[in-house]
Amino acid sequence: MMRRYSAWSLVREGLRGHTGWPEAWRKPERPQAAYDAVIVGGGGHGLATAYYLAKLHGMRRVAVLEKGWLGGGNTGRNTTVVRSNYFFPESVALYDFALRLYEGLSRELNYNIMLSQRGMLMVAHSELEMEIAARIVNAMQINGADAELFGRDQVMQKVPLLNDAPDARFPVHGAIWQGRAGVARHDAVAWGYARAASALGVDIVESCEVTGFLVENGRCVGVDTSLGEVRAGAIGLAVAGHSSVLAERAGFRLPIHSYALQAFVSEPVKPMLDTILFSFGTGTYLSQSDKGELVIGGGLDRVPSYGQRGNPPVQEQVISGLLEMLPAVGQLKLLRHWAGIVDVVPDSSPLIGPSPLPGLYLNCGWGTGGFKAIPAGGWLLAHLIATGGHHEISRPFDLARFETGRLIDEAAGAGIAH
């Protein structure tokens, strides 16, 4: 039984030295021999999948197998932004579904994921960019997502620190505003799903690497792991940047390149930025964490890589972009920087659906945008595994689109130069 979290339980425990809190989630040392479903990857997507399998589809024998520590991949390495400001209806349907699930998640999981819907500005720096911004805002509104087109004054009012000097490389013309966009505490999303899934009977096994797939009669019936063989009725793959590695073990290739995506954190300062800020000109984005640190990100690395570490060329690009946007931030220091390995697909849209190996299902290809999609990615993969078929929201994201040519190319649709 899960011990409920609340202000009262906190006070009660406070009075007796917090000695009564149980483990947040059970920690089986090894997996059982067989499950109805096995999810490979103990990040947000994998844990959410297990949770929804148990919660919505009544599956009780579910395991999540994690190579390292829970939430240690991109779930614990991203810049925590959630938003649904996309161009194509298929994308808006997907990401807005995720955002709606996020909006109720703290209560659903009884775990405060600290969703802070402080809004996001995507700043445009020329009339051409304003035209593209208008195109995106209109697309979002028509597709049912909240969006506004801000003029220069509205933008400067939201972020007075923006560079408006005469020699600014990128003058502020206006911005796309999505008020429902926000940030959430990334670790809490993983821990909250883990705790809730565990309470529903899901086995979460850390330090358990999947080394191969059991195939019988052309169908995947389980996995080989560093802790022994595990059989399963269905297997879900939610391993982000390492999808190609597991696909190779399963005998197929994916349209994925793995790249490092870097993130940067400054020292904490008192509140100075109340929204999430992105610039089309610099490609840098940032928000301020509740702790006061600036959490900063930018473009992908240029060199395909599985090395989870930062490097100076991209650092210079992102940080110079940051200072060009917000010159006052030049007073601050960089505290930490790191990288996650993201799974980049040619059309920058995810892959959700059956894999070429029957019995094995995919949830990958999120590229730089996996965190914001965690609830939807898990929900949709659970639907696939439980029913064997697509939900309407995930259907357009099937692997088949690369053969028909029906790509959902967000970068292209948004008018970003190709």
Look up tokens 């028909």; give the residue: 404
Q: Does 407 engage in binding with other proteins (CB under 8 A)?
A: yes
Cα–Cα distance measured from residue 233 to residue 34, given in angstroms and rounded to the nearest whole number? 8
Query: Least CB distance from residue 72 to other proteins, whole Å?
Result: 6
Give the other-Cβ count within 10 Å of 331's Cβ.
9
Which residue from 334, 390, 391, 395 is in contact with other proteins, where contact means CB under 8 A?
A: 334
Query: Least CB distance from residue 224 to other proteins, whole Å?
Result: 18
Query: Least CB distance from residue 360 to other proteins, whole Å?
Result: 17
Q: Which is nearer to other proteins, 231 or 337 (CB)?
A: 337
* DSSP annotation of 267: P
With CB under 8 A as the rule, give the number of residues binding other proteins.
131
Which residue from 135, 231, 390, 395 is in contact with other proteins, where contact means CB under 8 A?
A: 135
Cα–Cα distance measured from residue 72 to residue 132, given in angstroms and rounded to the nearest whole number? 37
259's tokens? 């790249």
Q: Which stretch binds other proteins (CB under 8 A): 31-39, 227-235, 385-393, 406-414?
A: 406-414
Q: Which is nearer to other proteins, 330 or 389 (CB)?
A: 330
Torsion over CA: 247, 253, 255, 260 (sign): positive
Contact 144, 92 (CB under 8 A): yes
Q: Does 132 engage in binding with other proteins (CB under 8 A)?
A: yes
Q: Does 370 engage in binding with other proteins (CB under 8 A)?
A: no
Q: Does 128 engage in binding with other proteins (CB under 8 A)?
A: yes
Short-list 186, 193, 130, 232, CA closest to 340: 186
**Cα–Cα separations (whole angstroms), residue 72 to 186, 191, 275, 345, 381:** 10, 11, 27, 22, 20
Contact 87, 147 (CB under 8 A): no
Torsion over CA: 93, 94, 99, 103 (sign): positive
> Between residue 284 and residue 313, which ones bind other proteins under the rule CB under 8 A?
288, 290-292, 302-307, 309-313
Q: What's the half-sphere exposure (Cβ side, CA atoms, 13 Å) at 418?
A: 10
Q: Does 36 engage in binding with other proteins (CB under 8 A)?
A: no
Contact 324, 168 (CB under 8 A): yes
Binding mask 221-250 for other proteins (x = CB under 8 A): ---------------------x-xx--x--
Query: Least CB distance from residue 180 to other proteins, whole Å?
Result: 12
Contact 332, 267 (CB under 8 A): yes
Q: Which is nearer to other proteins, 234 or 360 (CB)?
A: 360
Q: Which is nearer to other proteins, 203 or 206 (CB)?
A: 206
Q: Which is nearer to other proteins, 321 or 377 (CB)?
A: 321
* DSSP annotation of 118: -
Q: Does 218 engage in binding with other proteins (CB under 8 A)?
A: no
> Between residue 55 and residue 94, which ones bind other proteins under the rule CB under 8 A?
69-70, 72, 76, 89
Q: Does 1 engage in binding with other proteins (CB under 8 A)?
A: no
Q: Which stretch binds other proteins (CB under 8 A): 48-56, 167-175, 232-240, 368-376?
A: 167-175
* DSSP annotation of 378: H
